[in-house]
Amino acid sequence: MGSMPDDALLWSRLWLDGAPAELTRALTAAARPRRLQDGELLYAKGDTATGLIGVRRGIVRNVHVAGDGRELLFGLFAAGSWFGEISLFDEAPRPLHAYAMGETEVLLVPTVAFHAALEAHPQGYRHFARVLCHKLRVAFEMLEDQSRPLHLRLARRLLDLGAVYGQTTPEGLLLNLPLPQEELARMLATTRQSINKELRVLSQHGLVAMQGGRVLLRDAHALRVMVAA
């Protein structure tokens, strides 16, 4: 496939805020598209990293597969999200599996081009450090939440997703990605039935609502207060 036009590449707020424009242009110019079918493996745990990956269309799931076949979902990457930078910096194998969720198109910035862009625009290292710190804080929160009640863990995860994929609407903050209850259950190592129950309770309190398969945070402030208590 040929190169991707500059204006076709999407960047989420997490990546675009504070990013040097020269760096994003360089990464855009180096990006090459790849299409994936639903459930197709993008890379496996232990694979050698071949580049930075962005999602143009669809969703990529980052998962750990236990010995008994159960999946623990570590992240969902929708359009505008970028991931895979950890293995590019530490030169270690991929730590998780990555699968397409639905028909998906990703953009790959090859490792050599990625490092060349940062060498040409070294201010970009600070930006990547900020993004990595954000992801590390989310990981710390996940560990901290393991001993907390499920409704608080669910609220925190919805707020984390809202920080990246939230779209402000008159009704509240809409998580602009399909979020089946099965995926939320995998994120929180619980069952779909338990997630369904907690979402109903949050909905009854006017905190969340479902809109066409997407979650609407009707009162994000109240959710933050609840999680912080």
Q: Which two tokens stand for residue 164?
A: 């990246």
Of 7 and 152, which is predicted with more confidence?
A: 152
Q: How confident is the model at residue 204 (pLDDT cuts 50, 70, 90)?
A: very high
CATH of 150-228, one of 1.10.510.10, 3.40.50.300, 1.10.10.10, 1.20.1050.10: 1.10.10.10
Cβ atoms of 158 and 215 closer than 8 Å? yes
User: How much of the chain, in percent, has pLDDT values that exceed 90?
Assistant: 55
**Res 3 pLDDT > 50:** no
Average pLDDT of the segment spanning 133-154 = 85
Question: What pLDDT was estimated at residue 10?
Answer: 63
- Which tokens go with 204? 């009854």
The predicted model scores a pTM of 0.74
Tracing tokens 């602009």 back to the chain, one arrives at 176
Identify any residues that bridge with 117 across adjacent strands, giving them in sequence order.
none
Q: Which residues have CB under 8 Å from 226's CB, separation 6+?
A: 152, 155, 207
Closest to 224 in 3D by CA, of 153, 146, 159: 159
180-196 residue pLDDT tens:
888 888 888 889 999 99
Segment (H or E) for 167: strand 166-169
Would you put residue 148 in left (φ > 0), alpha (ψ -120 to 50) or beta?
beta
Residue with tokens 């991931």: 83
Residue 227 has, within 13 A of its CA and on its CB side, a CA count of 22
pLDDT digits (tens, 9 = 90+) for 72-111: 888 888 888 899 999 999 999 999 999 999 899 999 999 9
- Confidence at 172, pLDDT banded by 50, 70, 90: very high
Q: What is the mean pLDDT of the chain?
A: 88
In the block, residue with structure tokens 């910096």? 89
Residue 8 pLDDT > 70: no
The answer to whether 124 touches 58, Cβ cutoff 8 Å, is no
> What pairs with residue 75 in β-bridges?
62
| Amino acid at residue number 130 | R
Mean pLDDT of 122-140: 89
How many Cα atoms occupy the beta-carbon half-sphere of 13 within 13 Å? 10
Domain boundaries, the chain: 6-143, 150-228
- Of the options 2.60.120.10, 3.10.180.10, 3.20.20.70, 3.20.20.150, the CATH number for the domain spanning 6-143: 2.60.120.10
How many percent of the chain have pLDDT more than 70?
A: 93
Amino acid (one-letter) located at 64 = H
pLDDT at 40 over 70: yes
Strands 166-169 and 172-175: antiparallel
**Tokens 């070294």 sit at which residue?**
122
pLDDT digits (tens, 9 = 90+) for 42-61: 999 999 999 999 999 989 99
157 touches 75 (CB < 8 A): no
Mark out the alpha helices in the chain (DSSP H runs). 13-16, 21-30, 85-90, 111-120, 124-145, 150-165, 181-187, 192-204, 220-228
The secondary structure element, H or E, covering residue 201 is helix 192-204
Q: Write down the pLDDT at residue 66.
A: 79
